[in-house]
Amino acid sequence: MTIKTVAIMGIGDMGHAVGQALRESGFSVITCLNGRSEHSRNLAKLAGIPDVANLDLMVADADIVLSIMPPSAAEDFGHDIAAAVKSTGSSPMFVECNAIAPVTTRRIESVITAAGASYTDAGIIGSAPGRPGSPPRFYASGPDLGPISELDGKGIKVMPMGDEVGRASSIKMCYAGLTKGTTTLLTAVATAAESLGITDELGAELASSQSAAYEGMKRAVPRLPLDAGRWIGEMEEIAATFASAGVTDKFHQAARDIFLLLDDTPFANETRQTFDSTRTLEESVKVYVEHLGSGRNAAD
């Protein structure tokens, strides 16, 4: 199979950048923007990714479909693609790239393969193409990695992990369990300190004895609301992954609660384009404290 046309759903910060990189590498890249936000439409235009009228047309045109969206939307989208595969008789390779638990990706696999299409499990680690640093790694597992391997070196790096669906999702879950678990812990500590009235004293101590953690806190905590909404579901998927491995799920249930808090703040309405980069850690946590115990993050 030679890949000519790549369909990408959805067109967010990662999806549009991957699409642009693949388009600039010579692939035809398409998407379907039915029901999508104005932000997604603007990103598709920025990346030069044309919109097709509906999922049936997208599936009929595509050789491979990359699902890159919030994990809470992944399973429903898998069912939508399966319906389009059945109605068109087309059979593109479906690549599930979202931050979901192994058990979730296996459920989606069963729906896609029952409809008549092939399935690859993938997990994305790293920043979007075009940003400083190495390209994102697409860890991939499944019985046929040929199609996704054709995308290797085209703005992304494909990392094969064998033929067992779930292995790629597992590495994404464990990696994100560390990175996002760490940043939510930093947020929890900073918010608790502000609520207790010891922000300045703790900052001075951390600057003296835990400078690396303190710099990470100052860098990460003000930015987290940008992604909080889509990372709520990811924490639930990580918790489910850990539970399936016999490890406590409580760390990432707590991380979910931090993202629920941040998503209730006005900062969650910002995008990477409108983010106020001058906002300090101290200014951020004052607002976080104002939202403690309200909305979806209220204590049980």
Domain boundaries, the chain: 5-165, 170-297
CATH topology for the 170-297 domain: N-(1-d-carboxylethyl)-l-norvaline Dehydrogenase; domain 2 (1.10.1040)
* Rounded-to-integer distance, Cα 175 and Cα 182, Å: 11
Find the helix packing angle between 225-244 and 71-88, rounded to 10°.
Answer: 80
Task: Calculate ∠ Cα 225-228-233, nearest 5°.
Answer: 175
Q: What is the pLDDT of residues 215-228, one digit of tens each?
A: 999 999 999 999 99
Q: Global pTM?
A: 0.92
pLDDT at 294 over 80: no
SS3 286: helix
**C-alpha to C-alpha distances, 207 to 33, 177, 193, 216, nearest whole angstrom:** 47, 26, 15, 11
Q: Whose CA is closest to 196, among 289, 111, 95, 127?
A: 289
CATH topology for the 5-165 domain: Rossmann fold (3.40.50)
pLDDT for the residue 36: 83
Give the position of tokens 């539970």.
243
The rounded mean pLDDT for the chain is 95
